[in-house]
A and B are shown apart, each in its own frame.
Chain A
Amino acid sequence: MLKYLKRPLLTLRQSATRALSNSTKTTATTTATGGRLIEVNKALNGWEAKLKDAGVQDTDFNLKCIVSHVLKRKFNTVPDDFSQLKFNSAQLADFERFLEARCARMPLQHIIGEWDFMDITLKTAPTVFIPRPETEEFVRLVIDNYKRAEHVNMLEVGCGSGAMSLSMLHALPQVQATAIERSKAATALAWENAKLLGLQQRFEVHNHTMETDKYMPESLHDKRYDLIISNPPYVKTDEFQYLHPEVVVYENLNALDGGSDGLRVARLVFDLACVHLRPGGKLWLELGNEHPPLVKTIMHLQYEGRLKFVQSYQDQYKRERFVQLEKV
């Protein structure tokens, strides 16, 4: 079923990837010949409508992101009306190629190869989950709670690009972070981001797939932490048909699939926390819409005497989605 739904989208994806890979050739030839400048406002001609037709929302913002990326300028230094900005022909070719990809619903963050998360800028990679705006709110909450703590030994389960751990490290010098991640590409990307941000002294990341009774890599099997954070996959399997093309076609579904109730991976994290959290240590999770009450029930029924439900929190859209648990 899902496969049929995805087929047209997959062709889209192929065309997008082709559009992107064509680039190297065109760039090379145009830089050799190109000296003509074209105003950005002229180059924009018609693209906004094309993006809208393709179902892309927030087109102004998309265009501005791509323009500043093509011009290699910081986003906040580009004027909203693009006045006096010009492309040379190589840049124009890049610009059109990127927009072609965007029309094929390739995520904006993949096209420009980086994204801002709180105060840091992270590199993105095609198969690695892109952090969401809600996760910023989640991390802000956690940072608020640990601002005055003296030393925090933290573990992140499934770190992806490293967004959560690295922004915690960036904001709080007293944090020491360890992360585990099942995808090799993400593990490498998180490490690269840590190095780019100069945070590698306080960060380590292990490529490891969490399984029952083998929650942590061998080298860390007796470690205890003050804090565990995680944004585990929480999309229910039958919700996959409703996802945006950016998500279902371009993102790593392993980072999204939370099984039939969306808590398959979360349950593994609960079990991990029972073993690897010191008594009084906290587990913070970002989950889906209906999950916090469910987690509360699960704690009462199955984790009595091991984990305790402390509180749940709303994200910035007033959806109750974050939970705090405590090791008893």
Chain B
Amino acid sequence: MLLRKLLNVRYSCLVRRWASTDSLSLQNEKLQAYLESLRQEYYALRVNAAGNSSLYERLSRLDPVVNSLEKHRALQRNITPKQELAAEKDEDMRALMQEENNVYADLLRKQEEDMLQELLTLADNVDYPALIFEVKAGAGGQEAMLFAQELYDMYTSYFEHMGWEYEEFAYETTDIGGLRHANLLVSDPEAYNWLRYEAGVHRVQRVPTTEKSGRMHTSTASITVIPRPADVHVHLTDRDLKIETKRASGAGGQHVNTTDSAVRIVHLPTGLAVECQSERSQLKNRELALKRLQAKLMQQQLESAEASKQATRKSQQGNLNRNEKIRTYNFMQDRVTDHRVQQGGTLHNLSGFLAGGQQLSVLIERLQLEQRKSKLVELLETWQAPQEAFEKKLN
């Protein structure tokens, strides 16, 4: 009984997978219908979108899909139907037509791939101009902080690899070179669609440098990716700021030699205050304090702008337990395993991976593709052709 139940579960799983690959084939009627509805939406929008920016946005998103659909149809029309081919008497002519058909079939296949790609990109339905990328040490004490630092290094070099601009606005380290947590602002419209798959708990397994007896430890660090909506802007004007240093009165310039470096800035409209004395130069401290103030104000705005932020963070970080991980970095076996990739989720050459270059990029690309596919399948499953929906309503 139990066995059957188990088998059943497995079986249904298999069936679902079959169905999913199938539903993304262009032979699938539902997909065909979906594409047609997109096409109609596109032309309807072209007539009606005047002046409405959100409609324009939708239009520009649809444009590549519909474009490639039209190309696909044009190619299809070029293929000589079988009956015509059979009807042709002339042997040479038929060979020629056959050859032509082969070429078109080839082109058609390529076009199909392109179209699917465009369709998959459409599945990412939101664009964010920037995002907040957070690295946080999890379970495992000092070792977890060391690992968090390694992840931080990996991602910052990845940002550089991708040519994205980023800015760090909170950074807390430990004495032995570890990282408690860091917040980065990544400003690139592309970034969110790549980095969202990195959010979650990352697990490391190795003998830590802090370990004296040579046992292997398992520790975690978490990554959170919070999209920053376009309407959050913080603009600081001099009028709103009160900048204070320790030396309020008395002589200045050449008359004294004080190392007056601490700076405190009060943002008058909100009453928010920041202090900074982490550098020896006063001007540098002022710049840092301004940056921190800006980050604080931004965080405040974000919290009000996006109520779901906490929920996002929670769902991405899990409860920081060792078992809710998305990826494992095993130093003993020199491997990285991504637990979301069904097959071939294990890569070797850990140090190359931690360099944050091509290897990481390839893995993210794979995750992105799988994620988009499953999203599209999900969409198709729930999608109803407008006609059907209409009929349903009537009934």
Contact = CB atoms under 8 A, between A and B. Distances in A.
B6 interface: no
A255 B254 CA distance: 9
B257 A321 contact: no
A136 B262 contact: no
26 contacts: A57-B246, A76-B279, A77-B173, A132-B253, A132-B254, A133-B261, A133-B281, A134-B252, A136-B282, A136-B283, A140-B283, A235-B254, A243-B255, A244-B256, A244-B257, A247-B254, A247-B257, A251-B257, A256-B254, A286-B253, A289-B253, A315-B252, A316-B243, A316-B245, A317-B245, A321-B252
* Interface range on chain B (Cβ under 8 Å from partner): 20 to 34
Given A76-B279, A118-B281, A61 B261 contact: yes
A116 interface: yes
Interface in A47-106: 57-58, 61-62, 65, 75-77, 79, 83-85
Contacts of A315: 252-253
B253 A234 contact: yes
A84 B246 CA distance: 28
A256 B278 CA distance: 30
A58 B257 CA distance: 12
Interface in B219-277: 243, 245-248, 251-262, 277
Contacts of A76: 278-279
Nearest to B249: A317
Given A136-B281, A244-B257, 12 more contacts: A57-B246, A61-B262, A75-B280, A76-B278, A116-B281, A118-B284, A129-B254, A136-B283, A140-B283, A231-B254, A288-B254, A317-B248
* Interface range on chain A (Cβ under 8 Å from partner): 35 or more
A129 B254 CA distance: 9
Can you list the 9 inter-chain pairs with the closest CB atoms, starting with the nearest? A136-B283, A133-B282, A116-B281, A116-B280, A246-B257, A76-B278, A244-B256, A247-B257, A256-B254
Most chain A CB within 10 A, of B258, B278, B279, is at B258
Contacts of B257: 107, 109, 130, 132, 244, 246-247, 251
A319 interface: yes
Interface of B: 173, 175, 243, 245-248, 251-262, 277-284, 286
Interface in A292-328: 315-317, 319, 321
A139 to B, nearest CB: 9
A85 B278 CA distance: 17
Most chain A CB within 10 A, of B251, B255, B258, B262, is at B255
Contacts of A58: 246, 258-260, 262
B245 to A, nearest CB: 7
Nearest to A119: B284
Contacts of B248: 317
B252 A65 contact: no
A39 to B, nearest CB: 13
Contacts of A129: 254
Nearest to A68: B280
Contact of B259 (A108, A137, A256): A108
A150 interface: no
A239 B255 contact: yes
Contacts of A109: 257, 259
B280 A65 contact: yes
B241 to A, nearest CB: 12
Contacts of A146: none
Given A61-B262, A136-B282, A79 B254 contact: no
A242 interface: yes
Nearest to B175: A84
A68 to B, nearest CB: 9
